[in-house]
Amino acid sequence: MNSITLHVTDEIIEKIKSFYQDFIIKSNNQYVLFTAKTANCVITAYTTNKVLFQGKNAEEEASIWMALTDSNFYLTSIGSDEVGTGDYFGPVVVVSCYLSDEKKELLQKLHIRDSKELSDNVIQKIAPILFKELPYSLLVVNNEKYNELTIDERMNLNQLKAKLHKQAIQHLLKKINTKPPIIVDEFTSKENFAKYTNDPLFTSQLIFAMKAESKYASVACASIMARYKFLLELANLSNKLGITLHKGTNDIVEEQAIQLVKKHGSDILRKVAKVHFKTTNSILKKANSVY
């Protein structure tokens, strides 16, 4: 059984208790503040301010709170993250941003964490502040360019992401005139990153971390900023098409794509979608079109 123990403040214990309120079970242990039991994890908070996570999802559940307890979370660093690679409609957005020591208090007030844990409304409130306060580099690969690279030039997704992260990070380094640690979410191995970018020296300077956006504030900020820009781009596409495009890849997205093909022809997908997704074949068949 997996188990992880965190030592937290009274304030964080209350946040954890509130978060798992619907899963709390009775405990007769006098040293236990509360116990919560989810499908794959048991969370126990003790009077010693220790919280124990046990079970199959212990690491995943604990990672939600590590950001609040780990001093490395606010490490002065460059964080780089991408958004949109799992969405059928819309571009891929990469943001690299620099978190300096003087901005840590601001991020604490904003309760910064991984964008996947935040609603679109919250992101739309926080991101403009981050764009104003943090040095950053932003890259947007629209659908036409994305399809050119992945289909016509046969570039795989990890290769594309590696090249984009390298470009964004290098642009940012020129702006800040300092060389802090550089953290990238580990979407591929360091060896592959070096191969994809053809730059082992640059790659050797990077720190690769699994779920980096939940472990480092700089990456979390990059994630939020990239998601915000993605939402703006998706809204612009929606306005042009006269339809509110949905995020992700699901039945609603597929139905929207079918209707777009029926109305505009199959070429529309290269302009608004990621054509290499497997769902494209199904969409074209149902729309009685040939791509």
Most confident of 11-15, 33-37, 103-107: 33-37
* The pLDDT of residue 8 is above 60: yes
CA distance 213 to 177: 24
Helix H or strand E segment including 19: helix 10-19
pLDDT at 59: 80
Percent over 90 (pLDDT), the chain = 73
Query: Tell me, what amino acid is at 85?
Result: T
The answer to whether 233 and 242 have CB atoms below 8 angstroms apart is no
Between these two residues, 70 and 228, which has the higher pLDDT value? 228
Please write the tens of the pLDDT for every residue from 76-115. 999 999 999 999 999 999 999 999 989 988 888 887 876 7
Q: Output the CA torsion sign for 243, 245, 250, 254.
A: positive
CA distance 63 to 67: 7
Q: Read off the pLDDT band of 290 (50, 70, 90).
A: very low
* The pLDDT of residue 176 is above 90: yes
Average pLDDT of the residues in 112-140: 90
With a CB cutoff of 8 Å and minimum separation 6, the contacts of 13 are 33, 45, 49, 51
pTM of the model: 0.76
Please write the tens of the pLDDT for every residue from 118-127. 889 999 999 9
Location of structure tokens 């594309």: 160
Q: Read off the pLDDT band of 68 (50, 70, 90).
A: low
pLDDT at 194: 96
Please write the tens of the pLDDT for every residue from 201-246. 999 999 998 888 878 899 999 999 999 999 999 999 999 999 999 9
The answer to whether 8 and 51 have CB atoms below 8 angstroms apart is yes
Rg value, the chain, Cα: 21
Between these two residues, 234 and 51, which has the higher pLDDT value? 234
Q: Which of 221, 252, 260 is nearest to 87 (CA)?
A: 252
Q: Read off the pLDDT band of 128 (50, 70, 90).
A: very high
Average pLDDT of the chain to the nearest whole number: 91
Angle at 109 between CA 9 and CA 130, to 5 degrees: 135
